[in-house]
Amino acid sequence: MIDDLDKDEGIDLVVDQVNDADTAETEGRHAAEQAKKQAEIYHLD
């Protein structure tokens, strides 16, 4: 029974890492879009 619980724990960690990577990618994309919009508004080149 303990062996089964240990196996599930590793899977949760991998899922958390994938979710963290997806979140970081989304935030990076948002920051790039925000910078582009600011450049257009403030005429930054």
Predicted model pTM? 0.45
- Tell me which amino acid residue 17 is: Q
| Identity of the amino acid at 16 | D
Domain ranges of the chain: 13-40
Considering only 7-11, 27-31, 33-37, which range has the smallest mean pLDDT?
7-11
Contacts 24+ apart (CB under 8 A), 1-9: none
- And the tokens for 27? 């935030």
| pLDDT score of 23 more than 60 | yes
| 35, two tokens | 């910078």
C-alpha span between 21 and 16 (Å, rounded)? 9
Q: Residue range 9-33: average pLDDT?
A: 76
Q: Is the pLDDT of residue 39 over 70?
A: yes
